Amino acid sequence: MISVENVSKTFTLHNQGSVVIPVVEGASLVARPGECVALVGASGSGKSTLMRMIYGNYLAASGRIMVGDVDVALAAPREILTLRREGLGYVSQFLRVVPRVPTLDVVAEPLLALGVARDAARERAAVLLRRLNIPERLWRLSPTTFSGGEQQRVNIARGFAHDYPALLLDEPTASLDAVNREEVLCLIEEAKARGAAIIGIFHDVEARDRVCDQLVDVTGFTPARGI
C-alpha cells in the first residue's frame, strides 16, 4: 500500500535570489494492494515531483508518505535504500546503467541484490527480456549502445524483475510499439493481480484507462502561484 497524506513541497532557488516556489500543497492519495492509481494534470502541475517524493528523491516539506510500513518523509537514507531494494520499484523512462555490464545482468541485478541465486535471477531476467522482445544475441552486451526503445524495454524488464509490493511507473509505455506496449500492460496487470500497489504517470490515455483504477488530478494540489 502507498499512502500520501497532506504532503507539501517547495523548491528554493538558491542561485536565483532564494526565490521559494510552492509546487505541491496538501497532496493526499492512496494506492491499495492490487490497485493502480494514475497521476493526471497539466504539464507542470507536480506529477513528477510527487513521484520523486514517494521514491524519496525529494524530501517532503510536510505530511506523511507511507510505503508499506515505512514513512518515506521521515526515513533515514539507509532505510530508503532498503525500501527501494525490497519494497518499492521505480520504472523511469530512461535506463541508467553501469557501463560494460551485460543486459542479462542489468535485468537480474535487483534480484541478485536481494540474495537470489545467480542462475535463478538470470532465468527470470531471460523470461522478461524474451517477453519484451529483446533479441537473445543482445543479452551479452551492455545496453548502453541500444536504441532508445530497446533501452526502455530493458529498463522495464529490470523494474519488473522483483515482485515489488509497491511500484512507481513513469510513462511505462511511452515510445513503445503496439506489441511491446501490450506486453508492458500485461506486466502491469499481472503485478496488480499479485497485489502490488502502483502509482503511475501515463500520457497514453488508452493504456491508462485500461490498467488504472483511479485517477488523481494533481492540479488540485498545485498552490496558486501569484506572479
Ligand X SMILES: Nc1ncnc2c1ncn2[C@@H]1O[C@H](COP(=O)(O)OP(=O)(O)OP(=O)(O)O)[C@@H](O)[C@H]1O
Residues that bind ligand X (CB under 6 A): 11, 21, 23, 41, 43-49
Q: How far is the CB of 15 from ligand X (least distance, A)?
A: 11
Q: Is 169:197 a contact under the CB 8 Å cutoff?
A: no
225 vs 23: CA distance, rounded Å: 9
Q: How far is the CB of 207 from ligand X (least distance, A)?
A: 16
Q: How far is the CB of 67 from ligand X (least distance, A)?
A: 19
User: In the complex with ligand X, which residue's Cβ is closer, 114 or 215?
Assistant: 215
Q: How far is the CB of 62 from ligand X (least distance, A)?
A: 17
Q: Is 222:46 a contact under the CB 8 Å cutoff?
A: yes
Query: What is the chain's alpha carbon radius of gyration, rounded to the nearest angstrom?
Result: 18
Biggest CA pair distance of the chain: 58
211 vs 189: CA distance, rounded Å: 7
User: In the complex with ligand X, which residue's Cβ is closer, 27 or 184?
Assistant: 27
Q: How far is the CB of 216 from ligand X (least distance, A)?
A: 12
User: In the complex with ligand X, which residue's Cβ is closer, 134 or 207?
Assistant: 207
Q: How far is the CB of 11 from ligand X (least distance, A)?
A: 4
DSSP 3-state of 185: helix
- φ, ψ for residue 24, nearest 5 deg: -135, 140
Q: Give the residue from 91, 72, 78 showing the smallest Cα distance to 188.
A: 91
User: In the complex with ligand X, which residue's Cβ is closer, 46 or 165?
Assistant: 46
User: In the complex with ligand X, which residue's Cβ is closer, 59 or 120?
Assistant: 59
User: In the complex with ligand X, which residue's Cβ is closer, 47 or 192?
Assistant: 47
DSSP 3-state of 201: strand
Cell readout for 21 is: 516556489
Q: Is 87:164 a contact under the CB 8 Å cutoff?
A: yes
